[in-house]
Structure 1
Amino acid sequence: MFFSTPDLCDQYDSLLQVMSPVFKHFGGQSMFFGEVVTAKCFEDNSVVKSMLAEPGKGKVLVVDGGSSMRCALLGDQIATRAVENQWAGIVINGCVRDVTILKTLPIGIMALAAHPRKSIRRGEGQKQLEINLAGVTLQSGNYLYADENGVIISSESLPLTTT
């Protein structure tokens, strides 16, 4: 499947929310899309690890990490598990680590920055809730489309071109 977020904006603008351009690409796929699954955690990636250990079926995990710049919520081991479980992508309002390895993985990964320190697991976090980040409000069941131009959110699946 092929798409471009500018073309989708031109065609479906009234259906879309556009995230502020705060996220950087860290994964091996810069173009990815899928149904959204949400999570919220702060400096504890327990919920990220548990969710990505489940079958992803082409979905995108969107994590509100509170914009923390003090530790990473995703590293190579959890990202590798996400690939094995067929997640299409991960967007983190926070940091990632092991970026040299992340960019070799066939998955879309976006985050605010890289940070070498791992989070501390305390078993905290929430999933499947409405979150607000990068200027948009989204919830599980929305659809996310990301490419080099940005990230857009739709409440319904958009038709894409096959190439």
Structure 2
Amino acid sequence: MIPTTDLCDEFRDQLTLAKPIFRQFGLKRTFAGPIKTVKVFEDNVLVKKALETIPEGSVLVVDGGGSMRCALMGDMLAEIAVNRNLAGIIIHGMIRDSQEINEMNIGIFSLGTNPFKSIKEGKGETDVPVEFAGVEWKPGEWVYADEDGIVLAKEKLK
């Protein structure tokens, strides 16, 4: 993947920068791909379903409302993403099992960690535009993420 710094140098007017509110987890430090979205609140049923069904190479963007009261993903869900060869995951919420996740070949950005698991009611929405970190995440648009930041583009740039 082209570093976000190089993308910003070449395509500045075509990129939107997400606010740097995330921590990085997993062995994969850079990733890019088309956005697929899930909007939930303290419930990860639709997160699991999306991980099992979105196309290979996609980036799952989870709007968890910024809740820090429970985790929306742990090592078992991260393992699904690894096995399905998803590009990465961005969660506006928390994860757990961070030690295990940090040994997996996946890239995850989240607000942090919390040992509590989520509820399992299946409430929420999929494939809808969501807004957090100062940007709108639209299904089908592209996201590029690495240690220097997360940028969004309307289409694949390189």
Q: TM-score scaled to structure 2, two decimals?
A: 0.97
Match of 1:92 in 2: 91
Task: Return the letter of the residue paired with 2:61.
Answer: V
SS at 2:53 equivalent: coil
**SS at 1:44's partner residue?**
coil
CA distance, structure 2, for counterparts of residue 7 and residue 118 of structure 1:
38
Q: Which residue of 2 aligns with 1:21?
A: 20
Note closer, same or farther for the CA distance 1:103–1:56 as it changes in structure 2 (3 Å cut): farther
Amino acid at match of 1:151: I
Give 1:60's aligned residue: 59
Whether the 8 Å CA contact 1:55–1:85 is kept in 2: the answer is: no
Residue 11 of structure 2 aligns to a residue in which SS? helix
Equivalent residue number for residue 102 of structure 2:
103
Checking the alignment, whether the CA contact within 8 Å between 2:69 and 2:116 is kept in structure 1 is yes
Supply the RMSD in Å over aligned alpha carbons. Answer: 0.8
Report the Cα distance in structure 1 between the residues aligned to 2:91 and 2:54, rounded to whole angstroms: 19
**Match of 2:131?**
132
**Corresponding residue for residue 141 of structure 1:** 140
How far apart in 1 are the matches of 2:12 and 2:135? 14
Q: Measure the CA separation in 2 of the matches of 1:60 and 1:97.
A: 19
User: How many residue pairs were aligned?
Assistant: 158
Give identity over the alignment, percent: 43
Asked if the contact 1:55–1:86 (Cα under 8 Å) also holds between the matched residues in 2, the reply is no
1:104 aligned partner, one-letter code:
E
What residue in structure 1 maps to residue 6 of structure 2? Answer: 7
Compute the displacement of 1:9 (Å): 0.7
TM-score by length of 1: 0.94
Please give the per-residue CA displacement for 1:108-161, whole angstroms capped at 9, x wherever unaligned.
Answer: 1110010000001111111000111100012100101000001000001011xx
Which residues of structure 1 form unaligned runs of 5+? none
Consecutive unaligned residues in structure 2, runs of 5 or more = none
Deviations 1:27-69 (A, max 9, x none): 2111011110011000000110111012531000001100000
